[in-house]
Amino acid sequence: MKTPILVLMTGLGVAVTTLGSGPLSGPLMGGIAMADMQPEWYNCLTREVFTAEKQAWCDRWTTLQNGTYTVPAGFGPEAEMVTVTLENGRYEQPGQFRVELVNEPMWMVFGDLNGDGNDDAAAVLGVGVSDGSAVVTVLAAVMDIDGEAQALSPVVLGERVMLNGPITIDNQRIVVPQLTQTEVINRAFVTDNNRLSELAQLPTPERVEGVPDGTVVLSQTPDYAVRVFTEAGQPYINLFNKSTAILDVARGRALAIASVDGIRYQYTGHDGIPSVQVHVAPSGAQTIQVNDQNLDTETTVTGTVSYLPRIAMPPHAVLEVVLEDSSRADAPAITLASQQAIFGDRQVPIPFELVYDAEQINPRHTYTLRARILVDGELRFINTTHTPVITDGNPTHLEVQVDPVGT
């Protein structure tokens, strides 16, 4: 049976070995690329007369050293949450786990997280086992570090997390520059009642055959085709009006607003150009508004797309779902609505929502759903069974299974 060790990490690198009497040592997080700008840091164990700035900083550090935290005493979503109070930066239950505040820079920062004008603190917790085979990294926030300090419920960052620089507090957000094997992910977290919540990530645009460069959202409704895309990291919106065959908004500079509810891309119209708002929920569901009119109040076909093989899609994989009138066997199907979405950090089942005009529906016609997944323009999965919807008593909400190409 493995014995867990829990380390409250506010330092650059700590490693977990065994529950001996000595301090924890060795690299817990692996190599970390140092950023040029590092948070303010003091050695509070020196004996000189402290400046006012150092005294204030060390008072906060002492609060963390003797703070009360809720921590997971194990691994996985079923891990029990326990409350511990540190004494001089350490708490230990012999033979079970221990908590230690490590006094190093990079993994601790102070700043205002809720807009009340008071400084709060952000720290990182590492949860490990005695043989070092598993290390889970957790982020926590301590509110009002100068007053009645209260630690919020933490969020798990992942296993053996590496940083590309110090964690920071900016615009009431904790920003964690997490380093993966291929890229730096600047994750952002905000306070949400008594816990931390992660803001949705802006999907990284990839060059995919059949999908324009930088596309984040590509969706069609009965009246409009909407595309949200990025160039040099900046979001833009195109809005094509189907009734007039005119591009009502051409490369409109949009504002991306992240929250716990997802990402909202917003373009403010002027001089007869309509305003457009596209909201992408954490699940991937999309809501489109033109001039404050919610297009999704019209009739919709909704559901999820999944597959059986236990394999993961890369972040730039594309899900395409199309609603078609397939009544005529001797003619191409007519597209009523379609949606394309980049996977990002999601995996199946991926939700979809197709908006269609009920007046276009002929009760004597057959309407079907076509779903497929592409990677680098190559077709990987497609639904191989007939998927009728809407008419003849068929559903408007369904779970679509796609199969590997060639099976």
pLDDT in tens, 299-311: 788 899 999 999 9
| Residue of 197 and 37 predicted with greater confidence | 197
Instruction: Name the pLDDT band for 214 (thresholds 50, 70, 90).
Output: low
- How far apart are the two ends of the chain, measured CA to CA in Å? 43
Written as one letter, the residue type at 107 is W
The whole-number average pLDDT for the span 33-61 is 79
Position 283 confidence tier, pLDDT thresholds 50, 70, 90? low
The Cβ of residue 253 has, within 10 Å, a number of other Cβ atoms equal to 11
Residue at token pair 């005529």: 328
- Alpha-helix residue ranges (DSSP H) falling in 31-73: 52-65
From residue 168, how far is each of 136, 163, 188 by CA, in Å?
A: 20, 12, 10
Q: How far apart are CA 259 and CA 349, in angstroms?
A: 22
DSSP E strands: which ranges in 73-151? 81-85, 90-93, 97-102, 108-111, 120-129, 135-143, 150-151
Q: Are strands 168-170 and 173-179 parallel, antiparallel or unpaired?
A: antiparallel
pLDDT value, residue 192? 76
The token pair at 94 is: 């012999």
* Per-residue pLDDT tens digits for 355-405: 787 778 888 999 999 999 998 888 999 999 889 999 998 998 999 999 999
Stretch among 22-36, 45-59, 72-86, 327-341 having the lowest mean pLDDT: 22-36
Q: Is the pLDDT of residue 407 over 70?
A: no
* The pLDDT value given to residue 23: 31
- pLDDT tens across 226-264, in order? 888 887 767 889 888 878 878 899 889 888 887 777 788
pLDDT of residue 262: 77
Backbone angles phi, psi at 58, to 5 degrees: -70, -30
39 vs 350, which has greater pLDDT?
350
**Which residues partner with 151 through β-bridges?**
142
What mean pLDDT, rounded, does the chain reach? 77
Tokens of 96: 């079970």
Q: d(Cα 250, Cα 238) in Å, to the nearest integer?
A: 5
Banded pLDDT at 221 (limits 50, 70, 90): confident
